[in-house]
Amino acid sequence: FEGNLVRKHEWENTTVKASNRSWDKVFVVLRGSHLAFYKDPKTAKSTPDQRFKGEAPLQLHGATASVATDYKKKKHVFRLKLENGGDFLLQAQNDAEMNTWISHINAH
């Protein structure tokens, strides 16, 4: 499963805030239990090792996705909490797309 999302990294882990908390447009690829971020679909397809900012894929074991009801500044935003306390906000284009992402991530 894959698609465009807008991403904000909020927490590195339970105690450390992410140093860069700006919103980035990313192309997201869910494969098995990993979530990888790319600049665009073309890069994801042609050079899958060239991830956004050289980031390693996120391990979804122990991770949960849920609607970010506490985040009011943008619509269609869900929160991805990783096992290590890492925390990302991800914005879809509409609620249907958001719910599809939540289901797919939680079903990994």
Task: Map tokens 């991770």 to a residue.
Answer: 63
Using rule CB under 6 A, residue 75 touches ligand I3P: no
Closest CA to 71 of 79, 60, 80, 81: 79
Size of the site for ligand I3P (CB under 6 A): 5
Residue number, 22 or 46, with CB nearest to ligand I3P = 22
Using rule CB under 6 A, residue 22 touches ligand I3P: yes
Q: Give the separation between CA 88 and CA 90, rounded to whole angstroms.
A: 6
Using rule CB under 6 A, residue 46 touches ligand I3P: no
DSSP-assigned beta bridge partners for residue 30: 35
Q: Which stretch binds ligand I3P (CB under 6 A): 21-29, 49-57, 76-84, 99-107?
A: 21-29
Print burial letters for 75-96: b (CB count within 10 Å at least 16), e (below 16): ebbbbbbbeeebbbbbbbeeee
Residue number, 22 or 69, with CB nearest to ligand I3P = 22
The footprint of ligand I3P (CB under 6 A) covers 20-23, 73
